[in-house]
Structure 1
Amino acid sequence: MDTTSFHRLPESIQQIVLDGLDNEVQAGLERLDTAKKNGSLAPEETEALEGDIRRAAELRNRYSPA
């Protein structure tokens, strides 16, 4: 994925995006942990949540400065 356009954004905007992705990953991990403890998610829901967390983390890593 070409991140050139992202890196041309002002640093403050880049940081907002990165912080948002960090928050999304953290919130997803917390929700997953709570759901696993409570057994409140179906296997499909757990799989979907894990996929969302993975995609947000991958995107966050792509946008991180080298």
Structure 2
Amino acid sequence: MLSDSFRRLPSYVQQGVLDYLDEEIRIGFQKSEDAAADEKTTPEGARQLADGIVRSLALRNSFTGESVSSPRDLGIGKRQ
């Protein structure tokens, strides 16, 4: 269920916001996977990437009322 304030926005704006957040989550997840494979990645760098993903997921959840807790819940990062 969409939050009241988000629901008041035109549907094209809602979709644009969700598309943007989904893309931010996808990019963050990809960067996180790349960083995990790079031995030069510091724990702080890995934490910053993870924090960005968590913030984007939380914002998306606050708009949609969903309880998405992982990029995989959005179909991001599934292995073929």
Normalised to the residue count of structure 1, the TM-score between the two structures is: 0.85
For structure 1, the residue ranges without an aligned partner over 5 or more in a row are none
Distance 1:9 1:57 in 2: 20
What is the percentage of aligned positions where both structures have the same residue? Answer: 36
Normalised to the residue count of structure 2, the TM-score between the two structures is: 0.72
Find the counterpart in structure 1 of residue 55 from structure 2. Answer: 55
State the Cα distance separating 1:45 from its structure 2 match: 1.0
Is 2:18 aligned against 1:22? Answer: no
Per-residue CA distance 1:12-36 (angstroms, 9 max, x = gap):
0000000100000110000000111
State the Cα distance separating 1:6 from its structure 2 match: 2.1
State the Cα distance separating 1:55 from its structure 2 match: 0.6
Find the counterpart in structure 2 of residue 13 from structure 1. Answer: 13
CA RMSD of aligned residues (A): 1.5
For structure 2, the residue ranges without an aligned partner over 5 or more in a row are 67-80
State the Cα distance separating 1:40 from its structure 2 match: 3.3
State the Cα distance separating 1:65 from its structure 2 match: 5.6
Is 2:34 aligned against 1:34? Answer: yes
- Which runs of at least 4 in structure 1 moved beyond 6 Å after TM superposition? none
Choose between structure 1 and 2 for higher RCO, CA contacts under 8 A separated by at least 6 residues: 1
